Amino acid sequence: MRPAILYPLFAPVTTLPGLGPRLGKLAERLAGPHVVDLLWHRPTGLIDRLSVPSIEAAPEGRIVTLTVRVDGHAPPVIANRPYRVRCTDHTGLMELVFFHVKGDWLTKRLPVGQKVVVSGKAERFNGQLQIVHPDYFGPAEEAPPPTQVEPVYPLTGGLNPKPLRTAIQGALSKAPDLPEWQDSAWLRMRGWPAWKAALTSLHQPADEADINPLGPARARLAFDELLANQLALALVRWHQRRVAGRPVQGDGRLRAKVSAALPYTLTGAQARALDDIHADMAQPVRMLRLLQGDVGSGKTIVALLAMLNAVEAGCQAALMAPTEILARQHAETLEPLCRAAGVTLAILTGRDKGKARQAVLDRLAAGGIDILVGTHAVFQEDVAFKDLALAVIDEQHKFGVHQRLQLAAKGRGVDTLVMTATPIPRTLTLTAYGDMDVSRLDEKPPGRKPVKTSVIPLDRLEEVVEGLPRAISQGQRVYWVCPLVEESEQTDLAAATLRHATLRERLGDRVGLVHGKMKGTDKDAVMARFASGELDVLVATTVIEVGVNVPEATIMVIEHAERFGLAQLHQLRGRVGRGAAESRCLLLYAAPLGEVARERLATMKDTEDGFLIAEKDLQLRGAGEVLGTKQSGLPEFRLADLAVHGELLAAARDDARLIVERDPELTGPRAGSLRILLYLFERDAAIKYLRSG
């Protein structure tokens, strides 16, 4: 149902000039399958070609464009030497230098006596001007010389700048004049160009301002992309609010019993989050709330008290975890508290089979189970509740939106609480979870000791290993994380296997190993042995799951810490410091450190505040990298950079909210162009909501 005006932009990239089937595949890998994807492939720099009047006037080290006469050819006498073409003008002599070329091809392209335009980097060799492999050369009277300012694009192996530039210019020529979707007063105030003019400035820049993220062209396009994102989320949210919910309000008796059984009082942040949740559940619309809390901020207890609110009202609740080990851990944590309140809790994972599984399903359907803790197994069709009122989903980014909806469909007007232990910067929260209300747990429960973090060069590795037997003899347990080698899982595996072997040699057989190539059940078995104290040291690639709880683990060693992102280092450090004993995190790095890596390690040493770390991570890496966009379900932005365009995101959010308040079905005067905007940025899912009502 895409509007016809956009058809040219959604043609395959292979229809563009300069790209045949082979280069088309490379362009698709680089930018995407459609013509429009090349328009979103933005320049990262400029080549400024200086037009120079003569050989004598050419400055060294600059890219220059010159008009000269071909004077003679000097093919190499010895193999692997360069081919030189002598050129002159009224001020002197210069050479064009080529490696690995066929002479007859050059004599045809550059015949002696012809006037030619050449462009490339001017260098001096033995006092004489030369251009090695000119970017451009051709007869002076025929082709126009290259444009003075040329955009430079990110490339991929096998795709050269010239065909890519030709294809992008071809894409630009296919871009139609689209009706304006931005508010005219806002455009005037910002001094922004129209959509097509902005695209033209980006891909045919006159100077740096045209490609600068804060310049009018790029800022306009970034705002378009952010508005499409925020409008789509606002429409989805509006639609969800129209789907009937039901008020769920307990009398507080079960919550009072659990609060009395807790060995501590709730933090202010936990109490505020619970007020939000209980207020949402009391409404006749469905709750969709995100609970963000750093490692150890007490999300699980907030989830339990929310679920008890549903149980007090005579309904059931479910808690979903992404892995078996986390589901079992949640069940173990909650079981004694549920017992104190007289509430029935059961667990359902993929491991439960046959009669035992059927018994759980029967009790669940009959209402004999108040709270069900489970993994993806709960999504299966034969899992039926008597009256599900609240679904809690832990580690949201491991589950898709459709799974969230699947779970909500197992009851009537089900409220949803989504939890994540990955602190997300505020700007990213808006772009990814703009369809939800957000509560943040930004206080640590009393009694949690800070983790002492040290940054140590790798050449002191031996000292670290020598200190382990003493720590182990005092009953401490150790995580030893091996680095991720981006290019190859095999190398990761080799690094972890080697470290496991060397530590076993020194410390005996109480050293375990987990890595990404292992089966889930084998991984769980090793983790369980570590948790129970059969193993003292666990060597791992980063598969140690978020939330795995081993209070006796007090030492975290991260090898090649400079290769990890900040969020990842913070998550790993959160595996220790969960018990009463003092904990340490040792970040081993290989010198010399780059600027970004140095800042990352310094941040880890200076703070344990996950939200502060998340903001710093966004600043250092940009939004695309934070959380690994692909895995986390976060939207990828091509034109907007959230580290730079945070203020535009807030404006886009306000605009989207206004649009949906005034015209939720998008039928008013601005509606047609806004629908085009949603299709242009492939936010079509939101339009399906409009149609389905």
List C-alpha distances in Å: 411 to 243, 282, 315, 376, 416.
Answer: 13, 17, 10, 17, 11
Is 550 a member of any domain? yes
CA gap 121, 109 in Å, rounded = 20
Residues 10 and 56 in one domain: no
Residues 351 and 420 in one domain: yes
Is 598 a member of any domain? yes
Query: HSE of 481 in the Cβ direction (CA atoms, 13 Å)?
Result: 30
Secondary element (H or E) of residue 127: none
Is 100 a member of any domain? yes
Residues 133 and 266 in one domain: no
Residues 206 and 142 in one domain: no
Say if residues 264 and 446 touch (Cβ distance below 8 Å). yes
**How much of the chain, in percent, has pLDDT values that exceed 70?**
90
Residues 507 and 538 in one domain: yes
> Is 380's pLDDT higher than 90?
no
Residues 430 and 480 in one domain: no
pLDDT band per the 50, 70, 90 thresholds, residue 395: confident
Q: What is the mean pLDDT of residues 282-292?
A: 89
Which of 96, 123, 146 is the C-terminal boundary of a domain? 146
Which of 441, 471, 491 is the C-terminal boundary of a domain? 441
Residues 416 and 476 in one domain: no
pLDDT score of 632: 41
pLDDT score of 316: 96
Q: What is the mean pLDDT of residues 225-253?
A: 87
pLDDT score of 625: 43
Is 197 a member of any domain? yes
pLDDT tens digits for 354-375? Answer: 898 999 999 999 999 999 999 8
pLDDT score of 325: 80
Residues 63 and 118 in one domain: yes
pLDDT tens digits for 66-123? Answer: 999 999 999 988 888 899 999 999 999 999 999 888 778 898 889 999 999 999 999 9
Q: What is the mean pLDDT of residues 491-499?
A: 76
> Is 634's pLDDT higher than 60?
no
Residues 461 and 433 in one domain: no
Is 614 a member of any domain? no
pLDDT score of 388: 95
Secondary element (H or E) of residue 426: helix 426-433
| Three-state secondary structure string covering 7-65 | HHHHCEHHHCCCCCHHHHHHHHHHCCCEHHHHHCCCCCEEEECEECCCCCCCCCCCEEE
Domain count, the chain: 4
> When comparing pLDDT for 460 and 632, which is higher?
460
- Give one DSSP letter per residue of 460-475, joined into a string: GHHHHHHHHHHHHHTT
pLDDT tens digits for 44-74? Answer: 888 888 888 899 999 998 889 999 999 999 9
> Is 421's pLDDT higher than 80?
no
> Is 629's pLDDT higher than 70?
no
pLDDT band per the 50, 70, 90 thresholds, residue 628: very low
Which of 556, 580, 607 is the C-terminal boundary of a domain? 607
Say if residues 248 and 306 touch (Cβ distance below 8 Å). no
Residues 530 and 587 in one domain: yes
Query: HSE of 452 in the Cβ direction (CA atoms, 13 Å)?
Result: 7
At 560, which CATH number? 3.40.50.300
Mean pLDDT over each residue of the chain, to the nearest integer: 86
Which residues constitute the domain of residue 205? 4-46+154-212
pLDDT tens digits for 154-212? Answer: 888 888 888 899 999 999 999 999 999 999 999 999 999 999 999 999 999 988 889 99
pLDDT score of 118: 92
Residues 86 and 198 in one domain: no
Is 261 a member of any domain? yes
pLDDT band per the 50, 70, 90 thresholds, residue 624: very low
> When comparing pLDDT for 236 and 638, which is higher?
638
Is 630 a member of any domain? no
Residue 684, helix vs strand vs coil: helix
CA gap 42, 639 in Å, rounded = 7
Residues 460 and 481 in one domain: yes
pLDDT score of 690: 61
At 72, which CATH number? 2.40.50.140
